[in-house]
Structure 1
C-alpha cells in the first residue's frame, strides 16, 4: 500500500468512526423515544378500547359513575398503575390504584382540572429512579366526534424488564447504524482509491504532454541559438536547487521550473542575422535582441500552464540594482523566481562549455558572481546558493545532456506531485 492509499484509508476510517460516534447516539435516542412513544400510544389505544367496553365514554346518566369505576378497575393493574376518569366538567368520577401506583402517587406532580382537547403524555424519573409515564386522553362519543364527554388519565410505572428491553433495542439500533457507517467507509475505500488512481494516471499523462511540449519549445530555442538543449535542463535544475534552499514550494516552484526552462522562448522571433552573429552586436542590433523578452511574454501569456513561465520570461534580464531590462526593475520589485534564475543562468553560462567559449573553473565563476552580488544578484539568493555551489558544479561537470535531463525530470515529478 502506497502512502496515498494509507492516507486515504486512515482518513476514511477516521471519518467513518466520527460518523458512527455522532450518529449512533442519535440513533439510540430516536429508537428509545420511538419505543417510548409506541408504549404510550399502545396504552392510549388500549384504554380507549376498555373505556368503550365498559360504557365509560359517554359519561352521562345515572350509570356514569358505576361504568367509570368498572373501567378504572379494569385499567388499573393492566396497562396502568393509576387510572382516573373525569366527566366533561373535569369532576373525578372514579380512580383505581395498584400497590405500585400507591408507592409513587405522592411523588407525582399535581395538575389542574382537565380541560385539554388533544391527548398527550408526560415522561419523568422519580427520585428513586423509577420511570413513570402519564397519559392524558380526552374522551369523545361516537355520535359527536368533536364533543368531549370526559377525560381519562393513566399512570404507568414502566417495569424494569420493559426498560431493559427498550434500552437493548435502542442500543442494537445504535450499533447497527455505527456498523453501517464503518461498512460504508470500507466499501467506499476501494472506489476512492480507484478513482484517485485514474486521476493520477490522467494527471501524469497531462503532465507528460506538458513537459514534452516544454522540452520541444526549449530545444527549438536552443537550436536557433546554436546550442543544445542541455543549457535549459541545467539552468532549470540549478534554479530548482536554489528554490528548494529558499523554501519555494507548490505552484511557485512549478512556475520557477517552467519559466527557467522557457526563459529565452522569445528568441524564436529574433532574426538569424542578429541571433547568430559571431561578433558583438551594435546598438540597433542590441535593441532588437532585447525585444526577445517582450516576445517571450506574448508567447507564454494566456496559454494555460505556460502562463506560469511569465515571471521568469519577463524579468530574467532585470538586475538587483535596477540596471537591467526591459523594465529596469530593482530589488524586490523583481519576482523571486527571476532573481533565482539570474544566479542559475549566469553560473551555468560561466561554468559550462559553449560554442564560443571554454568553461570557467569553479573559483573564477564564483568570484564573478560574488563581485556582482548586490548589483546584478540578490544577496539573499546568493546566500542560499553559496553552500551548494561546489556540489552542483561538480555534479553538472560529470553530466551529459541526457544525465541532466534525468536530474531535472526527477525534481519535476517531485514538485508536480506525480
Structure 2
C-alpha cells in the first residue's frame, strides 16, 4: 500500500471511530429518551381519559374532592404507583398510593405546589436500581382552556420493560456504530479514487509547466551556447547547493524555475552584442544589462513562474552591492539568487562558449575564491566549495541528454512528480 493510501486509510479510520464514539452514545440516549417519552405519553393520555371519564377535569364543584379521590384510585394499581390530584390553586385534593408506592414515596425528591402549564416528566434512577417516571399533567376542559387542576403520577418501570428499553437503545447504538464503520469503509475507495484522479490531472498540468519551462530555457540558452545543457547544469548545481543549505518546498521550486529561466531576457538582446567574441564596450554592456529587466517582464504574471523572479531579477547582484540592476548587497539579495550566481559563474568559466574555451577546474575555483565576500555570499560559496569537486566530476563528459537526466531526478524530488 502506498504511503498516501496508508495515510488516507488511517485518517478515515480515525474519523470513523470518532464519529462512532460520538454518535453511538447519542443514539443510546435518544433511543432511551424516545422510549421514556412513549411510556410517558401513554401514561399522560390514560390519565386524561380516566379523569375525563370520572368528571374530574373540572375540580371546583362541591363533589370535586370525591371525584378526585375516585379518579386517583382508578389510576393506581395498574398504571401508576402513586396518583395525586390538585386543584387549580395547587392544593391537593386526593392521593392514592399502592403498597409499592408507599415504599417508593420516601425516596422521591420533594417539590412545591404545582404551577406548570405544560405536560412534562422526570426520569428518576432510584437507589437499589429501580427506575421511575414521574409525570406532570395540567388539567383543562378544552385544549386551549384555563387550567382547572393538576395530576401527578409516579410509574415504576417493570424490570422486563426496563431491559427492553435498554436493549432497544443498545441495538440503536450498535446500528449507528456499524453504520459509521460501513460509511468509512465505503468512503475510503471513493476518496482514494478521487484523489488519484486529481493527482493525475495535477501531474499533467505540472508536467506541462515544467516542459514549457525547459523548452523556453533551452531556446534561450542556445542563443549563446552550443547546446541547452547550460540550463540543466546550472539548475542542478544550484539545486545541489540549495539542498545542502536546507532549501525545500516552494523556495527550491522557485530556485529551479529561476535557474532555467535566468537569462530569459536575452531573447531581446541583439546577436551582435550577445555573440560578440570580444569585450563589450560601455554602450553594448548597457544594452546587455537590460536582459535582467526584460527577463523579469517575461516571468512576471506567469502564475507559478512568479517565484523565478528572485533569480531572474537578481542573479547579477553582488554581495558587496556593486552588482546590477538594483545594487543590492548582503542578505538583501534573495538567497536563491546568491546561490545561483555561484553556479552560473562556475559553469560559465568551466564551459565552452562560441567566444571562449573552458578553464581548468582549479583556475575556476581560484576565481570564485577571489570573489568571496565581494561578488559571492561567503557562506554559500563555502558550501559550494565543499561540494564542487564531486559535482564537477559528476558533470564531466555528460552531454545534454545525460545532464537533463540528472536534473530530471532533482525536479522529481522537489516538484513531487510521480515516477
Please indicate, yes or no, whether the TM-score normalized by the shorter chain is above 0.5: yes
Are 1:234 and 2:229 an aligned pair? no
Q: TM-score, normalised by structure 1?
A: 0.93
Are 1:298 and 2:301 an aligned pair? no
Structure 1 segment 81-120 matched on structure 2, within 5 A: 81-120=81-120
| 1:133 counterpart residue number | 133
Structure 1 segment 215-294 matched on structure 2, within 5 A: 215-294=214-293
Taking the aligned partners of 1:88 and 1:313, their CA distance within structure 2 comes to: 90
1:129 Cα deviation after fit: 4.2
Cα offsets for 1:187-241 (capped at 9, x unmatched): 2222222221222121121122212221221122122113310000010111111
Cα offsets for 1:343-385 (capped at 9, x unmatched): 1112222233334444334333323222322111112212332
State the number of aligned residues: 417
| 1:343 counterpart residue number | 342
Cα offsets for 1:313-332 (capped at 9, x unmatched): 11111111111111111101
- CA 1:113–1:289 in structure 2 vs 1: closer, same or farther (change >3 Å)? closer
| 1:371 counterpart residue number | 370
| 1:13 counterpart residue number | 13
Contact 1:266 1:295 in 2 (8 A): yes
Contact 1:100 1:157 in 2 (8 A): no
Comparing 258-267 with 349-358, greater Cα deviation is found at 349-358
* 3-state secondary structure, aligned to 2:200: helix
Taking the aligned partners of 2:325 and 2:86, their CA distance within structure 1 comes to: 100
Contact 2:72 2:94 in 1 (8 A): yes
| 1:165 counterpart residue number | 164
| 2:391 counterpart residue number | 392
- CA 1:31–1:386 in structure 2 vs 1: closer, same or farther (change >3 Å)? farther
| 1:34 counterpart residue number | 34
Cα offsets for 1:137-178 (capped at 9, x unmatched): 122235x85133332110122233333322222222222222
1:63 Cα deviation after fit: 4.9
| 2:379 counterpart residue number | 380
Q: CA RMSD in A?
A: 2.1
Contact 2:50 2:71 in 1 (8 A): yes
1:66 Cα deviation after fit: 4.0
Contact 1:226 1:276 in 2 (8 A): no
Taking the aligned partners of 2:11 and 2:159, their CA distance within structure 1 comes to: 42
1:123 Cα deviation after fit: 2.6
- CA 1:203–1:111 in structure 2 vs 1: closer, same or farther (change >3 Å)? closer
Taking the aligned partners of 2:33 and 2:65, their CA distance within structure 1 comes to: 36
1:86 Cα deviation after fit: 2.6
Taking the aligned partners of 1:78 and 1:387, their CA distance within structure 2 comes to: 96
Taking the aligned partners of 2:284 and 2:149, their CA distance within structure 1 comes to: 111
Gap regions ≥5 residues in structure 2: none
Structure 1 segment 48-59 matched on structure 2, within 5 A: 48-59=48-59
Contact 1:20 1:178 in 2 (8 A): yes
* 3-state secondary structure, aligned to 2:49: helix
| 2:206 counterpart residue number | 207
Taking the aligned partners of 2:9 and 2:121, their CA distance within structure 1 comes to: 47
| 1:175 counterpart residue number | 174
Taking the aligned partners of 1:25 and 1:69, their CA distance within structure 2 comes to: 43
1:47 Cα deviation after fit: 1.4
Taking the aligned partners of 1:251 and 1:344, their CA distance within structure 2 comes to: 20
* 3-state secondary structure, aligned to 1:317: coil
Comparing 343-352 with 373-382, greater Cα deviation is found at 343-352
* 3-state secondary structure, aligned to 1:224: coil
| 1:333 counterpart residue number | 332
Taking the aligned partners of 2:222 and 2:334, their CA distance within structure 1 comes to: 28
* 3-state secondary structure, aligned to 1:85: strand
Taking the aligned partners of 1:398 and 1:15, their CA distance within structure 2 comes to: 55
Cα offsets for 1:249-293 (capped at 9, x unmatched): 111111101100110111111111111111111111111111111
Contact 2:351 2:359 in 1 (8 A): yes
Taking the aligned partners of 2:25 and 2:148, their CA distance within structure 1 comes to: 42
Gap regions ≥5 residues in structure 1: none
1:126 Cα deviation after fit: 3.0
